[in-house]
């Protein structure tokens, strides 16, 4: 699974870029419809949860817990199969 950025809630504070220990995020440069620059998940394979399938056994989760605008959620279908 991988992290999904919700551009409707994101306010572009870039704390997820700062907090990720594996540098999976990059600062975005595309304007969202609300007028902010949401980050992009540039390197999803570096995320510690890339090979995990369900939210229950997720580790780390620093970005999801830190995001002040609840824009980051787990996408269980994303990432690798098996």
Partner 1 sequence: MEFFDLFREDRWPHMFCPGCGIGTVMNCFHRAFSEMNMDQDKTVFVSGIGCASRIIGYIRADSIHTTHGRALAVATGIKLANPDLNVIVFSGDGDIGAIGGNHFINAARRNVDISVFCINNYIYGMTGGQASTTTPYKSFSTTTPYGSKEYPFDLAEVAVASGANYVARWTIRNVKELTSSMTKAMQKKGFSFVEIASPCPTSFGRRNRMADPTQMFEWLKIIAVRKEKSQAWGLDQLDLNIEGRITIGEFIERNRSPYGLIA
User: Under the rule (CB under 8 A), what is the footprint of partner 1?
Assistant: 8-9, 11-15, 17-19, 34, 36, 62, 64-70
Nearer to partner 1, 9 or 50 (CB): 9
Burial of 60 (0-12, 13-18, 19+ CB in 10 A): middle
**Closer to partner 1 by Cβ: residue 10 or 41:** 10
Give me the least distance between CB of 82 and partner 1, in Å please. 27
Q: What is the DSSP letter of 34?
A: T
Distance CA(52)–CA(71), nearest Å, equals: 21
Please state the closest distance from residue 65 (CB atom) to partner 1, in A: 4
């Amino acid at each position: 699974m991988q992290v999904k950025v919700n551009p409707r809630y994101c306010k572009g504070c870039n704390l997820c870029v700062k907090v990720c220990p594996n540098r999976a995020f990059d600062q975005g440069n595309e304007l969202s419809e609300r007028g902010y620059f949401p980050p992009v998940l540039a390197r999803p394979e570096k995320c510690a949860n890339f090979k995990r399938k369900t939210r229950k056994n997720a580790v780390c989760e620093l970005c999801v817990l830190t995001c002040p605008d609840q824009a980051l959620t787990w996408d269980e279908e994303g990432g690798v199969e098996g």
